[in-house]
Amino acid sequence: MTPFEELLSRETPERAAEAAAYHKAPRRYLGLTTAELAELVQGWRDARSVEERVALADELWQSDVHEARMAAAKLLVQARIRPDAGVWALICAWVPQLDAWAIADAVTDAGARRLVADPTRLDEVEAWTGSEHLWSRRAALEMTRPWAKLSKVKPEDLAIRERVLAWAETYTTDRDWFIQKSLADWLRDLSKHDPERSRLFLEEHGEKMKRFARKEAGQHLG
Protein backbone atom coordinates (compact mmCIF):
# COMPACT_ATOMS: atom_id res chain seq x y z
CA MET A 1 0.00 0.00 0.00
CA THR A 2 1.42 3.39 -0.97
CA PRO A 3 1.41 6.29 1.51
CA PHE A 4 -1.42 7.95 -0.40
CA GLU A 5 -3.41 4.73 -0.29
CA GLU A 6 -2.78 4.57 3.45
CA LEU A 7 -4.33 8.01 3.79
CA LEU A 8 -7.34 7.03 1.71
CA SER A 9 -7.85 3.86 3.73
CA ARG A 10 -8.37 5.95 6.87
CA GLU A 11 -11.06 8.19 5.43
CA THR A 12 -13.88 8.93 7.85
CA PRO A 13 -16.79 10.57 5.97
CA GLU A 14 -18.35 12.28 8.97
CA ARG A 15 -15.10 13.87 10.11
CA ALA A 16 -14.23 14.67 6.49
CA ALA A 17 -17.44 16.68 6.14
CA GLU A 18 -16.66 18.54 9.35
CA ALA A 19 -13.13 19.30 8.14
CA ALA A 20 -14.43 20.59 4.79
CA ALA A 21 -16.84 22.91 6.57
CA TYR A 22 -14.11 24.14 8.90
CA HIS A 23 -11.28 24.70 6.43
CA LYS A 24 -13.56 25.82 3.57
CA ALA A 25 -10.95 25.48 0.80
CA PRO A 26 -12.51 23.53 -2.10
CA ARG A 27 -10.61 20.23 -2.06
CA ARG A 28 -11.13 16.67 -0.87
CA TYR A 29 -10.91 15.97 2.87
CA LEU A 30 -10.47 12.58 4.50
CA GLY A 31 -11.14 13.38 8.14
CA LEU A 32 -7.92 12.01 9.67
CA THR A 33 -7.09 13.20 13.17
CA THR A 34 -3.90 15.13 13.89
CA ALA A 35 -2.54 12.13 15.80
CA GLU A 36 -3.25 9.74 12.93
CA LEU A 37 -1.50 12.00 10.45
CA ALA A 38 1.51 12.50 12.72
CA GLU A 39 1.89 8.74 13.20
CA LEU A 40 1.81 8.06 9.47
CA VAL A 41 4.23 10.87 8.63
CA GLN A 42 6.71 9.72 11.26
CA GLY A 43 6.78 6.24 9.79
CA TRP A 44 7.24 7.52 6.25
CA ARG A 45 9.99 9.92 7.33
CA ASP A 46 11.94 7.27 9.24
CA ALA A 47 11.91 4.85 6.32
CA ARG A 48 13.15 7.25 3.63
CA SER A 49 16.19 9.25 2.60
CA VAL A 50 15.92 13.00 2.10
CA GLU A 51 15.59 12.55 -1.66
CA GLU A 52 12.86 9.95 -1.23
CA ARG A 53 10.99 12.19 1.20
CA VAL A 54 11.10 15.07 -1.27
CA ALA A 55 9.71 12.82 -4.01
CA LEU A 56 6.96 11.53 -1.73
CA ALA A 57 6.09 15.03 -0.53
CA ASP A 58 5.78 16.20 -4.14
CA GLU A 59 3.55 13.26 -5.00
CA LEU A 60 1.29 13.78 -1.99
CA TRP A 61 1.01 17.51 -2.65
CA GLN A 62 -0.05 17.02 -6.25
CA SER A 63 -3.07 14.97 -5.13
CA ASP A 64 -4.61 18.19 -3.73
CA VAL A 65 -6.18 16.20 -0.87
CA HIS A 66 -6.09 18.20 2.36
CA GLU A 67 -4.47 15.54 4.53
CA ALA A 68 -2.01 14.64 1.78
CA ARG A 69 -0.85 18.24 1.50
CA MET A 70 -0.56 18.49 5.26
CA ALA A 71 1.48 15.28 5.28
CA ALA A 72 3.68 16.55 2.44
CA ALA A 73 4.65 19.62 4.42
CA LYS A 74 5.13 17.71 7.67
CA LEU A 75 7.48 15.28 5.93
CA LEU A 76 9.86 18.20 5.46
CA VAL A 77 9.69 19.64 8.98
CA GLN A 78 13.11 18.98 10.46
CA ALA A 79 15.81 21.26 11.83
CA ARG A 80 18.75 19.43 10.24
CA ILE A 81 18.39 18.09 6.72
CA ARG A 82 21.38 17.38 4.51
CA PRO A 83 21.27 18.06 1.67
CA ASP A 84 18.31 20.43 1.78
CA ALA A 85 18.39 22.29 -1.56
CA GLY A 86 15.66 20.04 -2.96
CA VAL A 87 13.56 20.52 0.16
CA TRP A 88 13.79 24.30 -0.08
CA ALA A 89 13.02 24.30 -3.81
CA LEU A 90 9.89 22.23 -3.24
CA ILE A 91 8.67 24.45 -0.42
CA CYS A 92 9.17 27.53 -2.61
CA ALA A 93 7.22 25.86 -5.42
CA TRP A 94 4.32 25.30 -3.01
CA VAL A 95 4.10 28.86 -1.70
CA PRO A 96 2.28 30.36 -4.74
CA GLN A 97 -0.26 27.52 -4.49
CA LEU A 98 -1.22 28.15 -0.86
CA ASP A 99 -4.88 28.94 -0.36
CA ALA A 100 -5.83 28.01 3.21
CA TRP A 101 -4.36 28.70 6.64
CA ALA A 102 -3.78 25.13 7.93
CA ILE A 103 -1.77 23.98 4.93
CA ALA A 104 -0.04 27.36 4.79
CA ASP A 105 1.02 27.01 8.42
CA ALA A 106 2.41 23.52 7.80
CA VAL A 107 4.39 24.72 4.77
CA THR A 108 5.77 27.81 6.50
CA ASP A 109 6.74 25.69 9.52
CA ALA A 110 8.90 23.59 7.23
CA GLY A 111 10.19 26.66 5.42
CA ALA A 112 11.20 28.44 8.61
CA ARG A 113 13.64 25.66 9.46
CA ARG A 114 15.25 25.88 6.05
CA LEU A 115 15.63 29.64 6.42
CA VAL A 116 17.32 29.26 9.80
CA ALA A 117 19.62 26.66 8.23
CA ASP A 118 20.54 29.07 5.42
CA PRO A 119 19.55 32.72 5.96
CA THR A 120 20.81 33.70 2.49
CA ARG A 121 17.45 32.37 1.31
CA LEU A 122 15.87 35.51 2.75
CA ASP A 123 16.64 37.22 -0.57
CA GLU A 124 14.14 34.90 -2.23
CA VAL A 125 11.60 35.33 0.56
CA GLU A 126 11.80 39.11 0.38
CA ALA A 127 10.38 38.99 -3.14
CA TRP A 128 7.20 37.46 -1.72
CA THR A 129 6.46 40.58 0.33
CA GLY A 130 5.36 42.42 -2.81
CA SER A 131 3.30 39.56 -4.23
CA GLU A 132 -0.36 40.00 -5.12
CA HIS A 133 -0.89 36.52 -3.66
CA LEU A 134 -2.03 36.88 -0.05
CA TRP A 135 -0.52 33.61 1.16
CA SER A 136 2.89 34.40 -0.34
CA ARG A 137 2.97 37.71 1.51
CA ARG A 138 1.95 35.96 4.71
CA ALA A 139 4.55 33.24 4.22
CA ALA A 140 7.34 35.81 4.35
CA LEU A 141 6.34 36.78 7.89
CA GLU A 142 5.53 33.30 9.09
CA MET A 143 8.80 31.79 7.90
CA THR A 144 10.82 34.51 9.64
CA ARG A 145 9.14 34.20 13.06
CA PRO A 146 12.14 32.33 14.52
CA TRP A 147 13.99 35.67 14.53
CA ALA A 148 11.18 37.28 16.52
CA LYS A 149 11.53 34.55 19.14
CA LEU A 150 15.28 34.78 19.72
CA SER A 151 16.26 35.70 23.27
CA LYS A 152 20.01 35.79 22.58
CA VAL A 153 20.56 37.78 19.41
CA LYS A 154 23.82 37.79 17.49
CA PRO A 155 24.62 40.82 15.30
CA GLU A 156 23.67 38.91 12.16
CA ASP A 157 20.36 37.90 13.73
CA LEU A 158 19.64 41.48 14.72
CA ALA A 159 20.25 42.56 11.13
CA ILE A 160 17.76 39.97 9.91
CA ARG A 161 15.22 41.04 12.54
CA GLU A 162 15.50 44.65 11.38
CA ARG A 163 15.19 43.56 7.77
CA VAL A 164 11.94 41.75 8.52
CA LEU A 165 10.62 44.69 10.54
CA ALA A 166 11.13 46.83 7.43
CA TRP A 167 8.92 44.36 5.56
CA ALA A 168 6.45 44.48 8.42
CA GLU A 169 6.15 48.24 8.06
CA THR A 170 4.83 47.77 4.52
CA TYR A 171 2.31 45.25 5.85
CA THR A 172 0.70 47.63 8.33
CA THR A 173 -1.59 49.09 5.68
CA ASP A 174 -2.53 45.69 4.23
CA ARG A 175 -6.19 45.29 5.17
CA ASP A 176 -6.39 41.51 4.83
CA TRP A 177 -7.21 39.84 8.17
CA PHE A 178 -4.64 37.07 7.73
CA ILE A 179 -1.86 39.57 7.08
CA GLN A 180 -2.81 41.68 10.06
CA LYS A 181 -3.00 38.58 12.27
CA SER A 182 0.41 37.39 11.12
CA LEU A 183 1.89 40.83 11.73
CA ALA A 184 0.38 40.92 15.23
CA ASP A 185 1.74 37.45 16.04
CA TRP A 186 5.24 38.42 14.87
CA LEU A 187 5.29 41.56 16.98
CA ARG A 188 3.81 39.77 20.00
CA ASP A 189 6.56 37.13 19.77
CA LEU A 190 9.14 39.88 19.54
CA SER A 191 7.70 41.66 22.58
CA LYS A 192 8.53 38.67 24.78
CA HIS A 193 12.24 38.98 23.98
CA ASP A 194 12.75 42.59 22.92
CA PRO A 195 9.82 44.59 24.31
CA GLU A 196 11.43 47.94 23.58
CA ARG A 197 11.81 47.20 19.88
CA SER A 198 8.26 45.90 19.61
CA ARG A 199 6.95 48.93 21.49
CA LEU A 200 8.89 51.29 19.21
CA PHE A 201 7.43 49.65 16.11
CA LEU A 202 3.90 50.03 17.47
CA GLU A 203 4.50 53.65 18.45
CA GLU A 204 5.74 54.46 14.97
CA HIS A 205 3.41 52.33 12.86
CA GLY A 206 0.66 50.90 15.06
CA GLU A 207 -1.95 53.43 14.05
CA LYS A 208 -1.86 52.05 10.51
CA MET A 209 -2.70 48.54 11.72
CA LYS A 210 -6.18 47.22 12.32
CA ARG A 211 -7.35 47.70 15.88
CA PHE A 212 -7.46 43.99 16.76
CA ALA A 213 -3.94 43.47 15.42
CA ARG A 214 -2.53 46.43 17.31
CA LYS A 215 -4.14 45.14 20.50
CA GLU A 216 -2.81 41.58 20.02
CA ALA A 217 0.67 42.82 19.13
CA GLY A 218 0.89 44.79 22.37
CA GLN A 219 -0.63 42.10 24.57
CA HIS A 220 2.54 41.61 26.63
CA LEU A 221 3.68 45.22 26.66
CA GLY A 222 1.37 46.42 29.42
Q: What is the pLDDT of residues 196-221, one digit of tens each?
A: 999 999 999 999 999 999 999 999 89
Residues 41/60, Cβ–Cβ less than 8 Å: no
The angle at the Cα of 92, spanning 184 to 108, to the nearest 5 degrees, equals 35
Split at pLDDT 50, 70, 90, the class of 222 is: confident
Compute the average pLDDT of residues 92-118. 97
CA distance linking residue 187 with residue 48, whole number of Å: 38
Residue 138 falls inside a structural domain: no
Which of 141, 68, 134 has the alpha carbon at shortest distance from 99? Answer: 134
Domain shared by 114 and 163, yes or no: no
Question: Which residues constitute the domain of residue 8?
Answer: 1-129
* Number of other residues whose CB lies within 10 A of the CB of residue 213: 23
Residue 137 falls inside a structural domain: no
Residue 79: its pLDDT value, please? 82
Domain shared by 96 and 18, yes or no: yes
59: pLDDT strictly greater than 90: yes
DSSP 28: B
Domain total for the chain? 2
CA distance linking residue 58 with residue 45, whole number of Å: 14
Residue 112 falls inside a structural domain: yes
Question: Taking the model in full, what pTM does it have?
Answer: 0.95
CATH number of domain containing 64? 1.25.10.90
